[in-house]
Structures are given as C-alpha cells and as structure tokens.
Amino acid sequence: MSDTKFTRRTFLKVSAGTTAAAAAAPRLLQAMENELGGKDVNPVTLAERKAIPINCHVCNIQDGAIAFVENGRVVKLEGNPEHVSTRGRLCAKGNSGMWYSYDPDRILYPLKRVGARGEGKWKRITWDEALAEVAKKLDAALKEDPNTIMMKYGRNRTGGTLDRFMKTLGSATVVNHTSVCESSKKIGMEPTWGPDIETPDFANTKYVLNIGSNILEAAYFHNPLSQRITEGRVDNQMKIVTFDVRLSNTAGFSDEWIPVFPGTDGAVALALGHVILREDLQDSEFINTWTNVTVDELKAHYKDFTPEWAAKISGVPAATIERIAREFALAKPATLFTYRGPAKHLYGSYNEKACMMLPIMTGNIETRGGYCLPRGMGWPQPGPTPPGAKHASYLSTPPDYPLAGHKVSHLVPFWIAEGKQKINVYFTYQDNAVYTNPGAQAVWGKLFRDEKLLPYIVSMSSHMGEETALADIILPDCPYLERWEPESMPNSLWPWLGIRQPVHASLGESRENRILLRDLVHKLDPDGKRGMKQYWNFKDAEDYMRQHFDNVPGLKEAGGLDFLKKHGVWPIYGKLDPKTGKVTDKTGREIKAEYGLHKKELGTADMAGAVVDKSGVISKNGKAIGIKRNGRNYAGFPTGNRLINVRVDEWAQYGFNPMPTFKRIPWHETMKEDEMILTTFKLNVHKQSRTAAVKWLAEIAHSNPAWINAQTAKRLGVKTGDLVRVESKVGHLVTKAYVTEGIQPKVIAIATAFGHWEYGRLASLRLKDKPAFGGQEDPDLNNVWWDDKGVHPNAIIPVVADPIGGSQGWMDTVVKVTRAGPNDKYGDIQGNWEKHVEAYKETMRYAYTGDMHRKMHPEMASWAGPASVKPKSGGGGH
C-alpha cells in the first residue's frame, strides 16, 4: 500500500506543481455548440434541418443567426458561425425569436377599429379595403399639407423604406425614437469625432473604464462586445472598472464597481482628465496632431475640475479618482465604454463628451486595444429616389433644439397639443411610445385617445402593443423572420453587410413593410400620374434587395444578393475555430483588425484636384477629405475638418460651452434628505417593449421589483417584498421592494419591459383576469405559473430634454419613496397630464431659447443670445 497522504493541502500543492503537465495533457472535450455550429439535425430522425442565415432582430444588435427550419417551421435559432461579429453565438433573446411569428396573439389581418379608441373592438377587413381607406385619408391630408402626414418609428431597420415613403408623399414629418434611446450619446460624440458610437477593442486592451453601461446584459452591442470583454479578461488580464449607480451584472464582473450619484459621471470623467493632465500623463503628440486644441489649452481648461470638486458632487472619493486616472493613463492600451449612464440626463451630451475625452487625451484612439471608430458598410438605394419634402416640419426639426440631430421625439405630444403642427394622419411603425416614452399612458395615451389631435392613426404592427391598441387601423406587419431587410451594424472591428430574409412565407395576410407601403403608394397613384409610383417599381421585396446589393463592389463579384442569401453576411473573414471561438485565417491565427483608420494616407487619385488650407485640411469639390500632418496626407476623422473637435464651435453659437464641461442638474442640488433618484435599467432577456410577449423570455423574467439600498430600506422600514410607494412630481406608483447592497443609497432602480397592459395575453397577464375568454384555454398560456407582471414606471417619469442632444433624462427623476399606505395596492400607477405639461414647460426653459440657458452657462456670458443665431432648418444632424 502506498503511504502517500492525500490531504487538501497536498492536492493543492500537487496541482500547483503540475500546471504545465496538466496543460500538456490531451483535451478531448470541447464546446459542442461551436463544433456543431451552422448545422442542426432532428434528434429523432437525424435528418439535417434546413439552415437559413439571417440577422437577428429581436433587439438591435443585429447578431448573425441561423434559423433551422423543419417541415416549414422554425424549430431552433442559433448563431451564425460565419458572422464575424457574433461568431456563432446568440443571446437568450435571439434564441427565442420564433415566438414572435407563432404567437397566437399576433395580428394576421388588417383590422379596423369599430369601438372607441382603445376599447378593443375591431373588424377584420381586406387589404383592398384597408389600403383604400388609408389612401383616402392620405389623399385628403396631401391636399391640405403633406407635412400633416406623420411617421413615427421605433426600431426601423427597413434600410430606407420608411424614408422613401415619406419623401414620396412629400412630408418632412418623420420622427424617430432616438431621444428616448441614446441620442445625447450620439450628439456628444458626432461633432467631436464624426460617428455616433465607439468600438472599444475590449479583447486586446489592458484597461477598461466602463461608465454607465451594462454591456454584459444590454446596451450596444451586447453580444459581440460581451464576447470581447470576456476575452480581454481571460486572455489579456485586463482590468475593468465600472461606474454605475447599480451593481449590474457588468459591474459585478468588473474588478471594481464604483457607485456614483446619478448624472455625475461627467464630473468624474472631467476630474479623471484633470489628474491625467495635471500629472502630464496625456499623449501630447496625439492631442496636438489630431485635435483642434493644444495640450496647453486643455490643461488650462481642465484646471478647475479637481477630484475634490467631483467627489463632492458624485460621491466618488477623490483618492479613488486620482488612482483610477493614473491607472487608466498608464495602462496602454486602455479603452472606455459608455451607454445610458452618462447620456440620459439633462446635459447628457456634455457628460458623454467629458467621458470620451479620456481615451482622446491619452491617445488611445484607433489603436489596438483602444477606443476605435465604428466600422460599418453602406448600400445604395434603388433608383429613382423621391425628392422629399418642400418645407421643414416643426416636430421633426424643432427650432428650440437646433443641435439635436436625432430629434426630440418625446416632446412631440406637447407640441401637437400646443398646436405647433397639425397632424391628419399618424403612421406608427415598430414603435410603442404609449409604453416606452416618459409619461407613457399619461402623456402618449392621452394624445392617442384624442381624435382631435390625432384624427387618424395607422399602425403597421404584428402585435397589439399599447400604441397599436389605440390605432384606427392596423396593417399587419411581418415579424423579423418573415421579412427582407438590408443590414450592417458596427458591432465589431470588422465591417460587414448582411440581410434578413424570410425563413418561411408570412402567416395569414401579414405583409412586410416595404410591400405594404408599395401597395399603398400604388393605391394612391394607380396610373403613375401623381409621380409617386415611379419610386415603388419593384416586383417584390427580394427584387428590392437585389437593387440594394447586386452592385456593391466586392459583394457583386462574390455573387451579390445570392451570396447573402446563402451566407447571411459578407465578407466571410475566416473560419470560426471551435476551440477558441475566434475567427481565424488559413494559418489558424485570429484574423487581424485594421487600426489607425485616421492615418490612412490619401492616394494620388484622391489628391488630384484637392486643395490644402493653412490648417492642413484637404478639400476636394468643397468637401474636406483629409488632413495634412507632418507632411503626409491622411484621411483623418470623419468630421468637417477631419480632426477630433475637442472644441465644438457650433455649440458655442447657441450659447453652449464648446469645451468639455459638466452641468449639475439643478433639481438634484436641491433634493431633500428623504428624496431619491429614480433610474431605470434593462435585463438581459428583455428589450424595452417588445419582448414581454415572447414565451421563453417572459418565463425567465416577468416582474421588476424596485432595487433599494439596504441602508435606505432600513430608514424606510422596508424589507424585500414589501410594497413601496414611489412618488414623483407627475404621479406615483406602488411596487415591491428588492433590498440590496448593490445600489447607490440615494437611488431607486426599476427595470423596464414589465407591467404591460397590452401586448397580448402573456405580457399583460390578462389571461388571469378573463379566464372565460380564451386565455387559460391556450395550452401554452395555461402553463403560466406566475401572476406578477411587474410595474411599468414611465407614467411617473417626467420629460426632460437635453438642450443640446435632445435626449430624455431618464435618470433625473426625483422621487419620494415611502412604505405603501393602507390604500395603496401593488401595481397602482397614476400619471397626471397637467403635471406632465408643467414638466414639459420646465424642461423647455433649458433650451437655448429658454430663460434657464444663460443661468446654466455663466461661462458663456459673451454669447449674444438666441436672437443672434440664424434660425437653422433641418435640425442639427451631423
């Protein structure tokens, strides 16, 4: 017998001493999903299932996916291993996407309202009847003014179809949803360096500053960036520091979670910059070469943004700011990522700008492991293209927000109510403002119910969302697995083009958007005499896609649309290595990304006929195409002067500080001791509005108790599960508490995507209310074991508009939280229209035309006021 003594200590010792041998031992097991990626078989018959590549569209990351089809139906969705960004992986949402198509609450036929708006009484009508009715309304509206026809869209990935339709009609009243999404992030970035988003090279970095993003669960670009951030952590031992009000799963994954008072991320970022500049840790060469300011200017500007100043505002200790600043500046390469945390505030654009200054001043721009420009690809529009509107729309380009290039959609109800612009016909597409916007049912619900303000509402939707339920007519759109769409998303360092293609015929009589709009135009202009039909001459949706893709250089040679139909994406950069999960070249090495896009040198052909001005800007045909630096002609950055504009002169024209700055939210400064800030967040299995009806996802997450810090809860006398009343200046709600250490003590956080009152029986749990009417008799719904659908907070969130970026200040709401009283019951929600109107008027005071603008900008005392600015039409798009 052996006399070896195996104790735990012995085990650990042996293990430590045999690491190399263990590493050399053969590894016979590996992740099956990668090995089998791209193929699937029926588990009983072993027959291979038909694989149709698509781009996912449950949310907006646009993951490469494959729909496995058996006997005509989708039985499984999986990642497309040929897709360079998502590399064969698909998130829980993407795996569940087929339940949009097969949802028994899906709308399959045109429906016409027969009761009062919202009463739920409908009559099925034929497409011919529906199109004739809508065409008649359009005809009348066109005679009055094309701009009285409004299109508001949410997730629009039609590739230009909606725009084509509105231009065909000659209406400029096109409003998106971006102001409730991330518009101030975009406006913080666009005038500075061109694009509206960054691509952090997480996989190759040494240090990540993650400010207000929950990238492992949500945000752009959840799936591809989650993969890279994990690689960076595992393969590159990077450090990640997360500033967030809440201990999200990303914060939990980080080396450090630093809770920060809402809306003060910008102050922390400026203080980090202050330390970097004070200690001369900046990349002077980069600043002097590639920005429109000098190091000295920057140092002078940052002088007052001290860590002590930021600490008082944000609650982040000055010593922590000092340390993080040094770590970030000295760890090369380092990168930064932000999302809603900094941007969704009154001055979100300033916050975003302050954050992006950190990689700029440290020269981590367009470097391996750094903060890179997004890589995307475009495609041509089928010709001929319509000319567009003859005059601007107030709602689309509100004059009080000239810099808000992504519009200010959440103020639209108030502007319509004030009579700023008349609307005769309102189209809604993939939008649900009655649920998703601030004020929700109290604001948008009121607008939608008012037939004087919105005489005719057309919803193009596959599902009965809160907004569609208030429509006059519903034109059934197809869910994403049944439609054609062009796609490209800058969700990794490798650009790509992709498609969505129908994996089977659309169910019932649903029609994809471009087809139903074509049919509508043909109804309006049957003989082409009105000049509309010429823009809608395509045989079918596939024909339209061919016009997009068959002449894209490179793709054309590969086969154009036929290539995309087969692979879903182009180009195919390499092969997915099942062992590493990375895309590799023929030698087995990971394909290399291209860095330094701004340093691409212009060729002789580019320079032919170009002129170089004294600042080095290279122009051709009146457009800046590059920048001359150190004797070389570079492409530079995609801005008007090909530089990074640390100083945005256009902002100064409207009395805004053109340099990186921070503005504290005035009503946060005057908060009482017992007041808190309400913030919202997303879980990994839901998006804002459209996933609550998806069976698998609803089962995983269906309720949203409010996160409250343990200290705060103790003060309130509240424990997990207790009811709390949350009261803002525009309303109140009653929900359950979730007591945790993982949240800033002055914050209460409620997840969105819950508490639906429409969107089908699963989302609204109406099956529990009316068992006699079909609900419980559905075999799937009969399995619904939960009876808590959550509470939707938006009705008590007042509008706040960033006067620069136009973004909604989702995280600015001051609330009073108390234990629920005897008359409060779970799910109570009350929002008051009049109080929301007051909030609207209050936020307008911060616009450049408002009285608070000057007070908030004493440093811009020399600005000559709103009258000094030439009115700008067409918004502030960059």
> What are the residues binding other proteins (CB under 8 A)?
71-73, 99, 101-109, 111, 114, 120-124, 126, 463-464, 504, 507-509, 760-761, 766, 772-782
- Counting Cβ atoms within 10 Å, is residue 109 exposed (0-12), middle (13-18) or buried (19+)? middle
Shortest Å distance, C-beta 42 to other proteins = 12
* Residue 465 Cβ vs other proteins, minimum distance, rounded to whole Å: 9
Residue number with CB closer to other proteins (619 or 776): 776
Rounded to the nearest whole angstrom, what is the least distance from the CB of residue 702 to other proteins in the complex? Answer: 17
Task: Look at residues 836, 665, 808 and name the one whose alpha carbon lies nearest to residue 314.
Answer: 665
402 CB-near residues (< 8 Å, 6+ apart): 654, 848, 869, 871, 872, 875, 876
Sort residue 544 into left (φ over 0), alpha (ψ -120 to 50) or beta.
alpha
Hunting for tokens 């108390």 — which residue is that? 818
For the CB of residue 124, give the shortest distance to other proteins in the complex, in Å. Answer: 5
How far apart (Å, rounded) are the C-alpha atoms in residues 872 and 369?
40
Q: Please, which residue, 227 or 506, has the CB nearer to other proteins?
A: 506
Rounded Cα distance, 357 and 487, in Å: 30
- Specify the residue, 152 or 766, whose C-beta has the smaller distance to other proteins: 766
Buried b (16+ CB within 10 A) or exposed e, 821-838: eeebeebbbebbbebbbe
Q: How far is the CB of 467 from other proteins (least distance, A)?
A: 13
Largest CA distance in the chain: 101
| Residue 684 CB neighbours (<10 A) | 18
State which residue, 779 or 858, has the beta carbon closest to other proteins: 779
Instruction: Give yes or no for a cis peptide into 224 (omega within 30° of 0).
Output: no
CB of 498 to other proteins, least distance (A): 25
Cis status, amide bond into 221, omega within 30 of 0: yes
**Cis amide prior to 476 (ω within 30 degrees):** no
Report the residue number, 550 or 778, with the smaller CB distance to other proteins. 778
In terms of CB distance, is 509 or 542 closer to other proteins?
Answer: 509
Query: 427 pairs with which residues across the strands?
Result: 151, 458
In the complex with other proteins, which residue's Cβ is closer, 175 or 781?
781
Question: Amino acid identity of 796?
Answer: I
Rounded distance, CA 629 to CA 636, Å? 9
Q: Do you know the residue count of the chain?
A: 878
The smaller minimum CB distance to other proteins, of residues 773 and 826, is found at 773
Q: Take residue 711 and report the two structure tokens written for it.
A: 């200290």
DSSP 835-857: HHHHHHHHHHTTSTTSHHHHHH-
The whole-angstrom separation of Cα 664 and Cα 859 is 14
Give the 3-state DSSP-derived string for 515-584, with helices as H, strands as E and coil as C: HHHHHHHHHHCCCCCCCCHHHHCCCCHHHHHHHHHCCCCCHHHHCCHHHHHHHCEECCCCEECCCCCCEE
Quote the tokens at residue 833: 């229209």
Structure-block tokens of residue 324 = 């993080």
Residue 266 C-beta: closest distance to other proteins, Å: 43
Integer angstrom CA distances of residue 596 from 119, 191, 373, 619, 634: 58, 20, 9, 21, 10
Cβ-contact 496, 569 below 8 angstroms: yes
Which residue number, 120 or 666, has a Cβ lying nearer to other proteins?
Answer: 120
Instruction: Choose between 6 and 785: whose C-beta lies nearer to other proteins.
Output: 785
Q: For residue 128, which amino acid is it?
A: D
Residue closer to other proteins by CB (options 455, 774) is 774
Residue 96 CB, nearest approach to other proteins (Å): 12
Q: How far is the CB of 436 from other proteins (least distance, A)?
A: 18
| Min separation Cβ 97 and other proteins, Å | 13
Is 228 or 761 the residue whose CB approaches other proteins more closely? 761
Q: Is 712 helix (H, G, I), strand (E, B) or coil?
A: helix
Contact 332, 244 (CB under 8 A): no
- Going from the C-alpha of 30 to that of each of 177, 578, 580, the distances in angstroms are 43, 8, 10
Tokens 């616009």 -> residue = 847
Between 462 and 794, name the residue whose CB sits nearer to other proteins: 462
What element of type H or E holds 251?
helix 249-253
Which is closer to other proteins, CB of 375 or CB of 766?
766
- Compute the least distance from the CB of residue 778 to other proteins, in Å: 5
As to burial, measured by CB atoms within 10 angstroms (0-12 exposed, 13-18 middle, 19+ buried), residue 784 is buried
CA distance 271 to 266: 9
Nearer to other proteins, 431 or 802 (CB): 431
Instruction: Confirm if 200 and 208 have CB atoms less than 8 A apart.
Output: yes
Which ranges of 281-383 would DSSP assign to H, the alpha helix? 284-290, 295-302, 307-314, 318-330, 340-343, 348-361
Closest separation in Å from C-beta 757 to other proteins: 12
Q: Identify which of residues 466 and 487 has a Cβ nearer to other proteins in the complex.
A: 466
- Paired residues of 429 in beta bridges: 153, 460
Which residue's CB is nearer to other proteins, number 356 or number 765?
A: 765
Give the count of beta carbons closer than 10 Å to the beta carbon of residue 380.
13
841/848 Cα distance (integer angstroms): 14
Cβ closer to other proteins: 763 or 817? 763
Q: Which residue has the tokens 């969704």?
A: 344
